[in-house]
Chains A and B, each alone.
Chain A
């Protein structure tokens, strides 16, 4: 049985909430139960943004994640805030093109990856979070690359389908970091 939870965190504007939604869409494509819950507290522009995603074979209890299997961070304050939320054996993925950090936890797997570098190389900064989802997919099998691609075709309007090959290239490059 799958019962998988993710926290994505970073600055507002980095595409955190969208990336979380994409992960949920990919798992939904596989017929899983999913939930997506955003931080909607007293947030402000330039402040932090985060969301929780749960993927399960069964109806989901709380959509708020306190014990995460994967934590994806696009800034250092997010690592400090959410590192303790990881389950033992959980995975911390950071965008090491943007910052470096040494996790204080020793019971987790740490994957620093140059996500923004991948995005820069592919010429679209929106691909940074997509490459991190690729890394998570490869490291955990929470959803497949094929499901992710199919979900993109399903939910994006046709005029935006031309961006999907680029997204999938970022996804694959991100997956390399998990191998």
Chain B
């Protein structure tokens, strides 16, 4: 018999995934287009005896996350772009204190209050810092409601495994849309021992301290180098991507999440016109699939890259770094809450196919 699939909204599936991953602590503040995550948590947490707090602000919510994570509990908050900006101080502290937590950003168009429609213009913020200091977050970009389920569970596991923040990066399209989802068994829930947690002495002589303050410069440098070694290990071991038809492609699209869905349809149309178009879809935005893109760029069949985004050109900078001058890199994006049409992308591909250097960045 076919697997049972239910029609659910992306935002609700994120919340359900968190509950199935053992998250019993959610703190948040409402903002369109992610508020259904809160709605779902508000209803379900009470039923299962977890903690739900609608905080007085995003800043309060992220600091409640810090507290719950420090005490050793699985914890999540969610918001959308302006709210995620407010959380950046707390996110930096979480990185400094090496706490596992999951933060969901259902991105809307910025800057400022911007608009409430879908965008991918928080790529820089998510992958290049956001808050202060030398730190990284794992950033995962699901492309369907099914993946929102699987990857939210995965985010909790990665956060615990590496004692760091894992961010689920969606957009208004993904959060608001309904699609079928099968709550199939994913990675077994890892119950990581947390001997560092500030959860009482448990018979030890000393209590644990969770902090991000290291006043002595040598201590802080040693801590930062420790973090760097962890990040290097993750870059080697946790890169995730999907590669489609790159073996004999003339043009390789690079697109994630919602844009990758549109690009998959564009690829079919391009094939009908006899164009050889492949796609590299980053699933982890950090660690970014630099190595893979560099390998593809070295193939003799590849003439050019095209980064397609809901922004004015952010991920394309990482694509250029990865391609490292081997092939021309192009950009096409819509922003402000608009999505590119298949035709717009296809037209750009046709132009690049005729003149791979024309308009390259």
A residues with CB within 8 A of B: 21, 24-25, 28, 31, 33-38, 40-42, 59-64, 66, 155
Contacts and interface: CB of A to CB of B under 8 A. Distances in A.
B336 to A, nearest CB: 12
B184 interface: no
Given A61-B342, A62-B258, 7 more contacts: A28-B5, A34-B178, A34-B180, A36-B7, A40-B116, A61-B262, A61-B264
B314 interface: no
Nearest to B260: A61
Interface residues of B, number: 26
Contact of B7 (A21, A37, A41): A21
13 contacts: A21-B178, A25-B7, A34-B7, A34-B179, A36-B179, A40-B117, A40-B172, A41-B337, A61-B261, A62-B261, A62-B262, A62-B339, A66-B341
A92 B263 CA distance: 29
B133 to A, nearest CB: 35
Given A28-B5, A61-B261, A62-B262, A40 B339 contact: no
Contacts of A33: 180
Given A40-B172, A62-B265, A64-B173, A31 B2 contact: yes
B135 to A, nearest CB: 33
B180 A37 contact: no
A40 B176 contact: yes
A162 B286 CA distance: 52
B321 interface: no
Interface string B164-185: 0000000011001111100000
A51 B342 CA distance: 19
B294 interface: no
Contacts of B32: 40
B299 to A, nearest CB: 26
A35 B172 contact: no
Given A21-B7, A59-B264, A35 B116 contact: no
Interface string B301-339: 000000000000000000000000000000000000101
Contacts of A28: 5, 7, 180
Contacts of B2: 31
A36 B177 CA distance: 6
B33 interface: yes
A130 B5 CA distance: 23
Contacts of A66: 341
Interface string B236-271: 000000000000000000000010011111100000
Nearest to B338: A64
**CB-based closest 3 A-B pairs:** A61-B265, A36-B178, A37-B177
A24 B7 contact: yes
